[in-house]
A and B are shown apart, each in its own frame.
Chain A
Amino acid sequence: MKPAPFVHHSPRTLDEAVAMLGDVGHDGKVLAGGQSLIPVLNMRLAQPAHLVDINRVAGLDTVTVSDDVVRVGATVRHASLEKNTEAYAVLPLLRQALRNVAHPAIRNRGTTVGSIAHADAAGEMPSIAVLTGAVIEVVGPAGRREVAAADFFEGPLMTVLEADELVEAVRFGRFAEGTRTAFLESARRHGDYALAGVGVAVDVEGQGGDAVVRGARAAYVSVTDVPVVVDLTEAVAGQPFSSAWDGVEDLVQAGIAPEADIHASSEYRRALAAELTRRALTTALSEVAS
């Protein structure tokens, strides 16, 4: 388990990084946190001739909160975003989801943007990107372009990124005032890739006893090829907070297409996704309810 030979490039500016990536093209890979790439190299499942290591590129390690978005740079570690109180205050879903990303040691090293660019269907953060209506900031030899998260993912481990492009940052959209969120997943072991996971954003109008559910949307982990948003509004609108949310079943089942693997069957993942959705709705509303 030693990687095949590669040339390690360590650019200091984004322009340098883009130029190097342009030079090596299909023979190159961007290295950020390395939590997916390095094991793949060690097992020789991929043998790129060049690694463009962006860890020393200036200016990519910042989290910026503005009125509409939380902007996360390409080398921001999961742990750093998870602990960012400003980001949590305006978009709690980030922390709610990040707590489920592997283990602390992996979150200390792995990057949120990297996990989105990697586009693993079992990754938490691609789903959060679509649920928040995120915008992916892409940079390449031809300049910058922006891609909506909904258009970014093409399949498992496949995105619209060209070989000579990298993601500079992701802008997660903030929800409207009154939106309640929760993230739940079930894994075989604590921190493993989930058998199924769900993030929900529930639109609540009013305060205290007068509060009513107006709508809800959910995005899933491990039960869809590419992250999608399932609109649960027709099943939840007007329901009491104490609802068992049984009405969401059909919508969830129509929105997901889980595949079987050695850890769980497709049927079990379906049942799990539906149950997690019901529990996530209850969790999201528990604060309002109390």
Chain B
Amino acid sequence: MTTRQFGSPVLRKEDPRLVTGNGRYLDDLGHDAWEAAFVRSPHAHARITDIDVDGAVEVEGVIAVYTHEDLDGPAGDRLPLLIPHPSIEAGRTGYALAKDEVNHVGEAIVMVVARDRYIAEDAAQRIVVSYDHLPPVVGIEKSRDGAELVHDDAPGNVAAHLLQEVGNVEAAMAKAPRTLTLDLEIERSACMPMEGKGVLAQWDSDEQRMRIHSSTQTSTGVRAAVAAKLQLPLAQVECIAPDVGGGFGVKIMHPWPEEVLVPWAARRLNHDVKWTEDRREHFTSSAHERGQLQQVTVGFDDDGRLLALDVKFWHDNGAYLPYGVIVPIITATQLLGPYKPQNYRVEFWSLYTNTVLVTPYRGAGRPQGCFAMERTMDAIAAELGIDRTEVRSRNFIQPEEMPYDQGLLFQDGRPLKYDSGDFPASLAKLKALVGWDDFTVYKEEAEAQGRKVGLGIGCYVEGTGVGPYEGGHVHVETSGRVNVATGLTTQGQGHQTILAQIVADELGVSIDDVHVTTGDTRRMPYAVGTFASRGAVMSGNAVALAARAVRAKALRIAADALEVAEEDLQIEDGTISVKGAPHASIALSTVAVMSNPLRYAFDESAKAATQFAGAFDPDKPPVADDDEPGLEGKDFYSPTQATFANGMHAAIVETDPITAEIKILRYCVIHDCGTVVNPMIVEGQVHGGVAQGVGGALYERMEYDETGQLLNASFMDFLIPYASEVPHIETDHLETPSPLNPLGVKGAGEAGTIPVSAVIASAIEDAEGFPIRSMPISPNELWDLRRHQAANPRSTNPRSSTTQESA
């Protein structure tokens, strides 16, 4: 009897290799490659007046030095604006190497190729670039005032402006018995994968063929972009994502300048070329996220029911807009969480600043939206003196209202329509897990001992598994080995395991026989990429569909051989047998042999498939007209819309009454990602997500000074939480299967990250008794807030405006 793998905490197939140091990351490849280093702008905004490379060319071991002038054809054109959108008013992208102007510290200006990276850096150091300084625009407030411009042709520094409205906010707000206005702020952070970006390009001049390895979240995207930039036939370009040491969003952006330049140089030099990003480059030349200023005005009744919600926010998109407005659109739409606002208007401005790009980072705009909505819920509760969970309950979409259409367009241009979820049940589970109703007593006891403790909560809904599609290819070899390929890439999520679980169940084989390949355009040329918590939803369903095709073919061949009806057959442990008559059986591997008629008997199993091996019908061709040789199947999963996961978190924090140090005492998570493929892996995803969320809530911020210098571009000063800063995470699951896909799954990858800043702010607010409107928060900032509060007991805090009651 084959044990069902789906739903079991199967140990990760990839771990023995990865944890014993046998992973092959980008820098493990290409030992003989020449290596690249870059001269990058030390200034946030300047015109380049001269580049003197003479000193570099003299360095022993330097192969080539390139500036923008050297880039021929499309390689010298602007990089693409990957995701166009009607709201984009001034979409500006940079060049692979800066042309005339630099717009952020870290922008690449000169590429040096040398025998090794040491020499390349020695040479880069000797290149002299002269600049005329331009006024740097740093920070949302400076960008918003528009006095100085990042791009001369982007007035007001506005890259994009979007307004969406459902219902009539103005009228509903005017009639609302109560209103509140909150000014909120979220700082910049970044993905910070342990492995930075990296590219290895190998040009085969005989075959006129380019092989690229890139530490990417989309090998098909990189392949297509490089083919276009280098004007190569797509068929002559292949891209492989080797083991990737984390992505978290930054590697879905593509093509990075280096992904164009390294292949370009490899072809030009007819030699392997490699570039491995270092940490300093990652800080100033990759991408950040999160930074927003928000203003929320809410109208509600005396019971705390939402009547109207009016949100404006200003989103810092950095110097260029290559990834479009995905992040602010997600903020604008996912802000609503599990609630029914009745009337909702959201307006955002996506603004240029002279800082590095802003592209999606795990959560991708949702942490900001969740922060806005959840701070608002807490403010309503405080205003009315109602329990915070009660206010939330009264505004929940009810399970019987599913599917629920929020009336907005989501990031994929399709309706924001929730397919599933049971928010009251999730909240009940969360309250039980954290002991919500007992907390008042605990807090009183703590206060009697001179301790300050607080309880916080945050709820979110996450649109996961957006299209357009992913594919799966399943091939059974004559040995019984099952090869599975999907085109999206893996960065440690455990795809090798969960996709093998799915295929093992669908085919009735041992999971040990299933071998999964991801992110290799040679194996699956049609794919989109790994983002938006879509791996399990998209590739999971695609490989399931492909495996079902293989199963159908195997049963057809076996039914013919065993002379029984297909519906009487079953597959267990790799053997097809007649239900109720297990002695009448045939191995799946034998069916694989039979599926491929052969002329040549290269081994014993092949002999069974040759033309003289058995009886055949001389009137039929060896391969039927509507059939193909081999036991394999391919299929694609393409959903009509995203599937919506959700979750609710609660935390208990303690703040030191004197030093204002903040400690998370408990962290509880209720998580609904539909049907769970592997509960261990889902918990791991939640834990990792919460850890990153804790970073965003309490530690991480990009400290740009007013000139655009990033003051903390190292792991010494950019504070990622260590294991010692991450609390023990208590989790419980609720499974509301998605009706939208065959497996009933919803995405889990980003979930843990989304509500953490909202939850921690809520808990600190509860402990301190005054509003927290800006995150992250450090002990020093909390200490400052206390002093400000003591001096101005009726105000909120110095970094936001006041909470007002009107009407």
Contact = CB atoms under 8 A, between A and B. Distances in A.
Nearest to B724: A190
Contacts of A263: 717, 719, 778, 780
Interface residues on A, range: 20 to 34
Nearest to B656: A275
A191 B719 CA distance: 12
A265 B780 contact: yes
Nearest to A103: B722
A262 B125 contact: no
Interface string A72-95: 000000000000000000000000
A271 interface: yes
B280 A43 contact: yes
B703 interface: yes
B659 A189 contact: no
Interface in A157-195: 186, 188-193, 195
A275 B699 contact: no
A1 interface: yes
Interface string A250-288: 000000000000111100100110010000000000000
Interface stretch (B1-9, B114-122, B632-640, B678-686): B114-122
A262 B712 contact: yes
Contact of B280 (A1, A192, A272): A1
Interface centre among A186, A188, A192 (most CB of B within 10 A): A188
B711 interface: yes
Contacts of B279: 1
Contacts of B628: none
B125 A44 contact: yes
B117 A262 contact: no
A4 interface: yes
Contacts of A195: 779-780
Contact of B780 (A1, A3, A43, A268): A268
Contacts of A4: 121-122, 125
Nearest to B121: A2
Contacts of B717: 262-263
A189 B722 contact: yes
A209 interface: no
Nearest to B279: A1
A208 interface: no
Contacts of A143: none
A189 B724 contact: yes
Interface range, B side? 20 to 34
B278 interface: yes
B725 interface: yes
A2 B125 contact: no
A188 B778 contact: yes
Contact of A5 (B122, B280, B724, B778): B122
A189 B125 contact: no
B122 A186 contact: no
A263 B776 CA distance: 12
A265 B660 CA distance: 13
B194 interface: no
Given A4-B125, A5-B122, A188-B699, A275 B719 contact: no
A103 to B, nearest CB: 8
Interface string B341-367: 000000000000000000000000000
A156 to B, nearest CB: 16
Interface in B622-675: 658-659, 661
A222 to B, nearest CB: 13
A11 to B, nearest CB: 25
B525 interface: no
A228 B117 CA distance: 44
A271 B659 contact: yes
B783 interface: yes
Nearest to A188: B719
A77 to B, nearest CB: 21
Nearest to B705: A262
Contacts of B118: 2-3, 5
Contacts of B278: 1
Contacts of B121: 1-2, 4, 44
A188 B712 CA distance: 14
A189 B725 contact: yes
A262 B278 CA distance: 23
Contacts of A1: 121, 278-280
A44 B719 CA distance: 22
B345 to A, nearest CB: 37
B721 interface: yes
A262 B714 CA distance: 13
Nearest to A3: B118
B659 A275 contact: yes
Contacts of B711: 262
Interface string B440-451: 000000000000
Nearest to B712: A262
- The CB with the most chain A CB atoms within 10 A, among B279, B280, B719, is that of B719
A133 to B, nearest CB: 30
Contacts of B778: 188, 263-264
B117 to A, nearest CB: 5
A262 B780 contact: no
Nearest to B118: A2
Given A262-B703, A263-B778, A268 B724 contact: no
Nearest to B711: A262
Nearest to A42: B278
Nearest to A190: B724
A184 to B, nearest CB: 11
B496 to A, nearest CB: 30
B780 A190 contact: no
Contact of A275 (B658, B703, B714, B724): B658
A3 B703 CA distance: 26
A35 to B, nearest CB: 12
A263 B778 CA distance: 8
A263 B659 CA distance: 14
Nearest to A272: B659
B780 A264 contact: yes
B750 to A, nearest CB: 24
Interface in A1-48: 1-5, 39, 43-44
B789 to A, nearest CB: 15
B749 to A, nearest CB: 25
Nearest to A265: B780
A262 B701 CA distance: 10
Contacts of A2: 117-118, 121
Interface in B699-718: 699, 703, 711-712, 714, 716-717
A5 B126 CA distance: 14
A271 B717 CA distance: 22
A191 B720 CA distance: 12
B661 A186 contact: yes
Interface string B91-133: 0000000000000000000000000011001100100000000
A244 B72 CA distance: 74
Interface string B759-800: 000000000000000000011100110000000000000000
Interface in B460-508: none
A264 B122 CA distance: 36
Contacts of A39: 716
B783 A189 contact: no
23 contacts: A1-B278, A1-B279, A2-B121, A3-B118, A39-B716, A43-B280, A44-B125, A186-B659, A186-B661, A188-B699, A188-B778, A189-B699, A189-B719, A189-B722, A189-B724, A191-B724, A262-B712, A265-B784, A268-B779, A271-B658, A271-B659, A271-B783, A272-B659
Query: Closest 6 A-B residue pairs measured CB to CB?
Result: A190-B724, A1-B278, A268-B780, A2-B118, A264-B780, A262-B703
Given A4-B122, A39-B716, A193-B716, 7 more contacts: A2-B121, A186-B779, A189-B722, A189-B725, A190-B722, A195-B780, A271-B783
